[in-house]
Amino acid sequence: MPNKSSILKMKIPIFILIIYLVLTTLVTAQEINSISLNGDWQFKTDIYNQGVDDHWYKQLHDSSSWENIKVPGNWDLKNEHADYAGKAWYKKRFNIPANVNGKVLRLQFESVYNDAIVWINGKLVGENHLGFLSFEFDVSQHVRYGEENEITVLVDNTFKRGAIWNWGGIRRPVSIKVSNKIYIDYQHVTALPDLERGVAEIKIKVAVVNKDVKKRVAVLNSSIYFNDKIIAKSAVNQHKLIIEAGKTVYKTISYKIPKKLVKLWHFNQPNLYTHKSIITDIETPSNLDQRIDQFGIRDITVEGLQFKLNGEAIRPVGFNLVAEDRTTGNTLPLWRIKEDIDLMKSLGANMARLSHAPLPKQLLDYLDEKGIMTFEEVSLWGKDPMVDPDHSVPKEWLSKMIQEKFNHPSIIGWSVGNEIGGGRNPKIRDYVKTAILQAKKADPNRLALYVSDSAPDDENDAVEFSDMIMLNSYSNWGNRVDKTNKLHPNKPIFMSELGKELTSEDLNEGVIDITTILDELRNKPHTIGVSLWTFNDYRSFWQASPTWSTPPSQNRSWGIVDVFRQKKKAFGLFQKEYAPFTIAPLQHSKSTLTPGEDIVTTFKLRPRGINDFPSYQMQGYKLVWYVIDNKGKIVSGNFLTLPKMNPGDTEFIKDLKWKIPKNDGQYLKIKVIDPQNYTLFSSTVFTAKPPIPNIKEIHTGDGKTRIIFEKSPFITSVKANYGTKTLTKETIPTINDYIDIPRVGWGVSYKVQLTAINNFGESSTDIITLQPDKDELPPIIRNTAPSNNSFFVGYSVDKSDYLFDVKYGTKPNQYDKMITFKNVGVSQIPHLENGKIYYYRMRRRVQWGFTSEWSHEIKVIPDGGLLPKPPIVKGILREGDKALITIEPVYKAIGYHLSVREVNSNINRDIYFSSAQTETLLVENLNRKKKYHYSITSINSNGNSQAVQINE
């Protein structure tokens, strides 16, 4: 009889299942292994292209003077190489165990940007010129077994695409895969549902390689898992393979999945299956190799002007993502991937051509898990000699991209280029036609297209060959989709890029009028979706017209978050416009919110119309409301599951009953969360005035004055009133932690008062008298980011800036070190101790020689190798057999672990939450009659934090 803990249900995340499958397979570490080459490498730039001629790849070459660099990594993150474009050399020594002699050793690079030449022990191994994709070499004959070896890689990052920064280096993990002579090269899973009958057919094509010098006979075993259970598997010894020496054989296995086992993949319910292939030696029998891949069952169709997911006509929304930031480059650690996708999901994103360049597997895996549909793209842009049906590079690029990314359900189509029409390339039509045919032949079950900005003006545009029209437009949006539809009728249009002009790095000035743009596109049946360029600001030096030119900081400000993922004002507006519903203004039963009184707040939600954006069925959404005290803790609240609603349905109305605490109530929070617990709507009703702004520092100058103050969750914005005698002038309220006050006169003293604002009222400081001086203001410190043995400073840059200084130390206001640099926008402060507190200030030197004041002091702790901070738990809401835990997301977290047990019981139930930037942890299947104890930890790449213990 099973014990009680064995029957507790838990949904195992897909990657935990994969680990479980690997560990339970009878394959020993000696038979299959991976040798990591990540970590410290030697590094040297090659400005004058001397390395090849001087044989830097030889083992005898003295590299003792080379610097150290981390792999994965970008050299552009180091101050001294921040703007370097050209060739650079990497070198590392490593050991190969003697007991793997006779195995197949494949050197695998997940990505090197862009061109790479590889030597081992001074001998050429191979080269690669597709920097966005992975590549590998068989190095079995190049290494020395039981001895030290040396690998050298020459990297060149001069290849550039559009306005995106060409981050250089070995930017993804490197390893040597150790395999038997027979191994699985890949498996492609095609999973198609029969929507009428509810069943599905799954076909798996498995490629098995024989590197032996003789013919081999093996058996292929196949199994399909959903969560932790096998739902289909091949019979023992059913699939026998005869593989000639040096050849590859392909075996296709088919399954019919019954209706009760079919769970469709959808952006709100991204159900994932796992397929596992095992190759067994028929003589031994021993397991030779295995491969595990996740996949989803879903149906994508274009019918007339409709775009359908699993038979439902939808009108999706999304963002373009430039997959990088200023502190990790485009190495994309898992925390960066998860923060970006989680934030986009909280904005309602569900479809986009996310990136001009192919995305890495780990990011696509998370798109699979969280449900954002995307198109992977061959990165041809503008005028390009590769836009040619006879050019080999785009053919190879497309082929490798499809081969490598075939199993991802989040990928619903392939794009063969971006903005390459409009007379830029004479062979555009032949190229697009040929490339789309190539894509459809390799993968007939996905869409194939090219992204156009010229279709509204060209009746012969190559969108003729696309399965649907992807259109980019930065003005006259409604007019351009209408013209496109007129010239190219009977194809739905997805606005793959829309925008107007650069916004601002300033969070308060980062505003995009998405309402006006969408109003031009709503109620047009031929336009089925939209995607903003872009979600995030990104590094660039692109210069164009004044409203399209990159600022001096190199931070190209198209996004609704900045390069550090701090939210601009536009973020909230997009969350409102991208929600599949509209919310009426809240109505309270009493006009005055008085402590101690009972209040009824009427909440009204209406699904958007059939031809609005976005438009799709809502099922599994929840309404949440709670009251927060002045310590940030929940004192009361509840939640409920909303009824299933279709586009155009009638309004949902709910009266929310709550009580304002007598002494410490601060606000009522009302949220709507989607089936994956992402917050799509959030409204705060404050029940008390905000605290008075706490001023940290004041900088006076002859041009303006800057006041730095502390931010507070009880303050929505801060303004300043000022004047020479009376406070007759007022600044625009800001969401920043500083206010700049314009000069009121040359050398004239003036008065200033700061006022904190929320929707209950205002609170003001005492009036301050300020005297302008001739000092230059320091740079605005936009962000401070801890890193491994270092921290990064993000700061404003003026066109008059010449140099920047940072002084720092381990005690407040005591600085024993200073560095000076010319880098713009972001700089790294290196050679520090992880876990130690540092304090710093910054100033700028302007081009005419003067130095500014020093900035206010900032504290930072380098976090390399450190465990994450514990999550801050705001409280628990319990309703029936469910509990909803509200937390503050932890910086650089990659998930959360929750241990649940009944009070007075010692039986724990463990639940893993893979969302990193989530506010809500939902626990289901609780005993309605019992109370529970919860233990929560946050997780990063180094492990789990200390646990936070809470009781209901």
Phi, psi of 50, rounded to the nearest 5 degrees: -95, -20
d(CA 872, CA 877): 15
Q: Tokens 């937390």, residue?
A: 887
pLDDT tens readout for residues 40-88: 999 999 999 999 999 999 998 999 999 999 999 999 999 999 999 999 9
DSSP secondary structure letter of residue 546: G
* Pair (57, 142) in one structural domain: yes
- The reported pLDDT for the residue numbered 838 is 99
pLDDT digits (tens, 9 = 90+) for 547-593: 899 999 999 999 999 999 999 999 999 999 999 999 999 999 999 98
Q: Where are the alpha helices (DSSP H) in 537-623?
A: 569-577
pLDDT at 855 (0 to 100): 98
Predicted confidence (pLDDT) per residue in 510-523, tens digit: 999 999 999 999 99
Q: Is residue 300 part of a domain?
A: no
The answer as to whether 357 is a domain residue is yes
Same domain, yes or no, for 252 and 378?
no
The predicted structure's pLDDT at residue 748: 85
Contact 267, 454 (CB under 8 A): no
136 exposed, middle or buried (CB, 10 Å; 0-12, 13-18, 19+)? middle
**pTM summary value:** 0.95
Q: What's the pLDDT band for 19 if we cut at 50, 70, 90?
A: very low
Residue with tokens 């049946």: 525
pLDDT digits (tens, 9 = 90+) for 306-353: 999 999 999 999 999 999 999 999 999 999 999 999 999 999 999 999
Residue 886 to residues 348, 634, 640, 681, 876, Cα–Cα distance (Å): 20, 9, 15, 15, 6
Q: Give the length of the chain.
A: 952
Higher per-residue confidence, 781 vs 28: 781
Would you say residue 209 has pLDDT above 90? yes
Flag whether pLDDT at 146 surpasses 50. yes
Tell whether 834 and 876 lie within a shared domain: no
pLDDT band at residue 774 under the 50/70/90 scheme: confident
8-state DSSP, 381: B
Which residue in 250, 224, 255, 221 sits closest to 235, CA to CA?
221
Q: What is the pLDDT of residue 450?
A: 98
Q: Note the pLDDT of residue 837.
A: 99
The mean pLDDT of 585-611, rounded to a whole number, is 95
**Final residue in a domain of this structure, among 110, 145, 179:** 179
Which contiguous run of DSSP H or E holds residue 247?
A: none
Final residue in a domain of this structure, among 179, 212, 233: 179
Asked if residue 32 has pLDDT above 90, the reply is: no
User: Encoding tokens for residue 728?
Assistant: 């007759």
Does residue 173 share a domain with residue 81? yes
Q: Is 1 a member of any domain?
A: no
pLDDT tens for each residue of 359-378: 999 999 999 999 999 999 99
The mean pLDDT of 625-634, rounded to a whole number, is 95
Bridge-based pairing state of the strands 199-210 and 248-257: antiparallel
DSSP-derived pairing of the beta strands 738-742 and 704-709: antiparallel
Give a yes or no: residue 303 inside a domain: no
Q: Does pLDDT of 277 surpass 50?
A: yes
Closest listed residue to residue 626, CA positions, set 665, 591, 597? 665
Q: Please compute, for residue 212, the number of CA atoms within 13 A of its CA located in the half-sphere on the CB side.
A: 16
pLDDT at 4 over 70: no
Q: Does residue 402 lie within any of the structural domains?
A: yes
Cα–Cα distance measured from residue 781 to residue 858, given in angstroms and rounded to the nearest whole number:
9
Q: What CATH number corresponds to the domain at position 53? A: 2.60.120.260
Helix extents (H) in 95-194: none
In this structure, the answer to whether residues 707 and 654 fall within a common structural domain is: no
Angle at 927 between CA 921 and CA 929, to 5 degrees: 120
- pLDDT band per the 50, 70, 90 thresholds, residue 801: very high
pLDDT of residue 26 exceeding 70 = no
When pLDDT is cut at 50, 70 and 90, the band that residue 932 belongs to is: very high
Q: Distance between CA atoms of 641 and 674, rounded to whole angstroms?
A: 10
HSE of 713 in the Cβ direction (CA atoms, 13 Å)? 13
Question: Which residues 6+ apart lie within 8 Å of 585 measured at CB?
Answer: none
Query: Which amino acid is residue 306, in one-letter code?
Result: Q
Check whether the bond before 72 is cis (ω within 30° of 0): yes
189-198, 229-238, 743-752, 908-917 — which is least confidently predicted? 743-752
Q: Are residues 610 and 530 in the same domain?
A: no
Neighbours of 10 (CB within 10 A): 14
Q: Are residues 255 and 159 in the same domain?
A: no
Q: Which structural domain range is residue 941 located in?
A: 872-951
pLDDT computed for residue 662 by the predictor: 86
Checking if the pLDDT of 10 tops 50, the result is: no
Band (pLDDT 50/70/90 cuts) for residue 428 is: very high
Question: Per-residue confidence at 744, pLDDT binned at 50, 70, 90?
Answer: confident
How far is residue 558's CA from residue 539's CA, in Å, rounded to a whole number? 11
Same domain, 519 and 380: yes
CATH number at residue 927: 2.60.40.10
Cβ contacts of residue 533 below 8 Å, gap of 6+? Answer: 320, 472, 474, 497, 498, 499, 558
Is 450:375 a contact under the CB 8 Å cutoff? no
156 and 94 within one domain: yes
The per-residue pLDDT of the chain, averaged, comes to: 95
Residue type, 267: F
Q: Is residue 100 part of a domain?
A: yes
Among 840, 860, 880, the domain-final residue is 860
Same domain membership, residue 358 and residue 463: yes
pLDDT exceeds 50 at position 192: yes
- CA dist 202 and 188 (Å) reads 10
**Contacts for 359 with CB less than 8 Å, ≥ 6 apart:** 323, 367, 374, 376
CA neighbor of 619 nearest in space, from 601, 607, 632, 628: 607
Give the percent of the chain with pLDDT over 90. 91
Beta pairing class for 447-452 and 411-418: parallel
CATH of the domain at 417: 3.20.20.80
Helix (H) or strand (E) run with residue 768 in it: strand 768-770
Q: What is the rounded CA–CA span in Å between residue 72 and residue 615?
A: 41
Q: How many domains does the chain have?
A: 7
**3-class secondary structure, 521:** helix
* 590 plus 562 within the same structural domain: no
Of 1-5, 99-103, 129-133, 134-138, least confident by mean pLDDT is 1-5
> Is residue 27 over pLDDT 50?
no
Q: Record the tokens describing residue 564, joined without a space.
A: 């550090």
Shared domain check, 561 and 412: yes
pLDDT tens figures, 480-499:
999 999 999 999 999 999 99
Can you spell out the DSSP letters for 189-210? EEEEEETTTTEEEEEEEEEEEE
Name the residue with higher pLDDT: 594 or 488.
Answer: 488
Q: Sign of the C-alpha dihedral, residues 48, 52, 54, 60?
A: positive
Stated as kind and residue range, the H or E segment containing 491 is none
pLDDT of residue 15: 45
Q: Does residue 678 fall inside a structural domain?
A: yes
Using pLDDT thresholds of 50, 70 and 90, give the confidence band for residue 944.
very high
Residue 546: per-residue pLDDT: 83
Angle separating helix axes 392-405 and 428-442, nearest 10 degrees? 30
Residue where the block lists tokens 């960066």 = 336
Of 447-451, 592-596, 872-876, the range with the lowest mean pLDDT is 592-596
Helix (H) or strand (E) holding 375: strand 373-377
The reply to whether 431 falls in a domain is yes
Whether 363 and 323 have beta carbons less than 8 Å apart is answered as: yes
